[in-house]
Amino acid sequence: MIVFGIDPGTIESAFVFWNGKEVYAHATVPNDVMLAQYVTGAHQLADVMALEKIESFGMPVGKETFRTVFWSGRFAQAWTPKRFEEVTRREVKIHICGHARATDANIRQALIDRFGPPGVKANKGLLYGMKGHEYSALAVAVTFHDQHANDGPTIRPGIQAEF
């Protein structure tokens, strides 16, 4: 199974393609580019899209949070009818670090501990060239893949394409 993991953002989003052993591609791109080129063009490259889901913790949120939710919805809609799943940050923290209080730095370090250091140009590691939110996208993809690698169909059950 190849997972298209996305860490959505207000203006730009990060993605990775992960098959359980290697990262095929990763980047951080503007949301309109993500939608037009990667989400719509990745149907042939990935079996499932795993999006980081925004969670409510009972605190007020700003317009940036709603903008991120808006883009998450657009990505999911463009991916339909193929399977997309939402993975919460809490799920990622517990799966990758074993604790819900983990930070982004903890998650990044846990991924490096698991897959090895990024390396340098002359000696590239599995995570070579990754930066910022791309680690979050990888954590989403790894979490989903580890938990659902043997799941069923790639088309979302009960969803009919109406194009």
Could you tell me the domains of the chain? 3-88+130-148 (3.30.420.10)
Q: 3-state class of 23 per DSSP?
A: strand
* Cβ pair 75, 50 in contact under 8 A: no
Confidence band (pLDDT; 50, 70, 90) for 151?
confident
Q: Name the pLDDT band for 42 (thresholds 50, 70, 90).
A: confident
d(Cα 13, Cα 110) in Å, to the nearest integer?
Answer: 22
Predicted structure pTM score: 0.89
